[in-house]
Structure 1
Amino acid sequence: MGLLLLLAVAGCRRDGIDPATPPAEPVAAVQAMAERLAADDLIGYAKLSVPPAQYAQLQQAWTQGHSHWPLTDLPLHDQLLPMLQSLQRPDAPTQLQRSFDRQLAGQSSAVRQAAQSMGAFGVQYLRHQQGLTPSQQTHYIQLIESLSRWAQAAPLSDRARARSSIAALATAAGKVGFHDEDSLQAAGMEGSLQQVAPFLHAFKAVLASYGLGVDEALRSLRGEVLSLQGDNALVRLQYELAGDTLTVQVPLSRRDGHWYLTRTLADTDALLRRAASAEAESAKATVPDPVTGGDALPPPAKP
């Protein structure tokens, strides 16, 4: 969730935060992570997201086949491999351009209407979604409304721009050394982050060419501490996205003297517990049977 939060921080509009005020330490910690994302330094981002000891454990969990963090923090992370596979085909630019021409080229009115309709549907869905806090609901509604307005104004049906965007993404995808679960696993945690960083850069550049400046949004991030109690802080973050000023309240926790997103710590703590449990079960299954001398059970297949 940490990467998703920093890529898509949004919320309700409120009074401005003075950009001349030096950030408090919890705010500075979030700004440092956002800056690493803007610089396409995914390894640097990952190292700032969790304590060093946990970072090492996450690397081990990847090696053991129990984790793909922090790639799982990416928006639509489950579509990363299908997207790369589609873009890495030798005929990808031609086939994707043909698909664009059939469905979107020159259809500016239809695209605007679709963006408006999808935005309205998303807002209504969130208004009735169970399990969201009022703050989360406001957060997601404001994000959808902002992106809907951007999509309605962006030249998404422009054929020449699409051709350039498809070519840029296909070129960047072709430089990524993994394309399926096995090759992603073999790349390792830091290796996969190094390989996907140029693709992320190209993807952000394409969005910027359509008027959605993710890097500018990340670098405009500012905030203030709303409450600080021991090792827990609540901060209000604000930044500019697609012409809107957006804010969100985010809890942080201090661990080993440094501040981290509370949700990221909770998610990675849970991930590491599951990894440890899976390793214990695997070790138990391969203990020699005292009667036969062989394995009591074959090791379970990894997903």
Structure 2
Amino acid sequence: MNDSDTPVSRWSDLDRPPLNASALRRGLIRSGGLWTSLDVVPATGSTNTDLAGRAAAGLAEGAVLVAEEQTAGRGRLDRRWTAPARSGLFFSVLLRPGPEVPVRHYGWLPLLTGVAVATGLARAAGVDTALKWPNDLLVTVGGEERKAGGILAERAGDGAGDGAVVVGIGLNVSLRESELPVPTAGSLALANAVSLDRDTLLRGVLRSLERWYGQWREAGGDPALSRVQEAYAAGCATLGRPVRAELPGERELVGEAVAIDSEGRLVVRTGDGERHAVGAGDIVHLRAAG
């Protein structure tokens, strides 16, 4: 396997050098730490799919799989996620929360990951990353909110009964305006990040995820005790604004997003004052009247 330890041409694109897998391992893998292995591959269809396959074979918790290019990356509802090679961070991690965390709390893993990514990027890139419920990462470009990344958490059936979960993260780093898949997309470069060094950014995000995940697991997955619920609400751009929830079955719900409940659901208050907990669906941020 070519894991980018010795790239064929390290200087083929000075703006987008390959990741240094050896340096990343030295900086992240330590005795007693969460991260146990880290592989960088030149290209793959989906890091989530690949890592889920390895999980089924009994791979240890803390495995990290990074792709320099992802040709069939998936978001929620099987939406495609593609970007030029080495223009972003496309990686998945394998987590096994264990019996101390009830399965009912697993729904917090993508939200927890959002908090970790936003916290890590604030330190490593100097970018204020907001969270759009449930799994989008937003940056501000020219005064507008734009999606720069997303998170996808999936159960990985391995027959061991220990609840393996693969969490995938896709983040646009150096994409230029002309390379954006849609006009509403963004990147750290367009948000004027102080650093676009992907090695630095990946280390920052993984160290932040290790802290938040450890805190959450020590609290038995309790979102309040671990302070994940509080942190998510503080960084969530969806709360306090009018939204349209596009629900399964072609249903819609329009109202104000007022809270994140204990199960990680978005609470929407409609015009009649009723509160509705939304657990699945697309959320559209609406402009306030006037």
**TM-score of the pair, normalised by structure 1:** 0.24
* Structure whose residues are more often helix by fraction: 1
* Structure whose residues are more often strand by fraction: 2
Which of these two proteins has the greater Rg computed from alpha carbons? 1
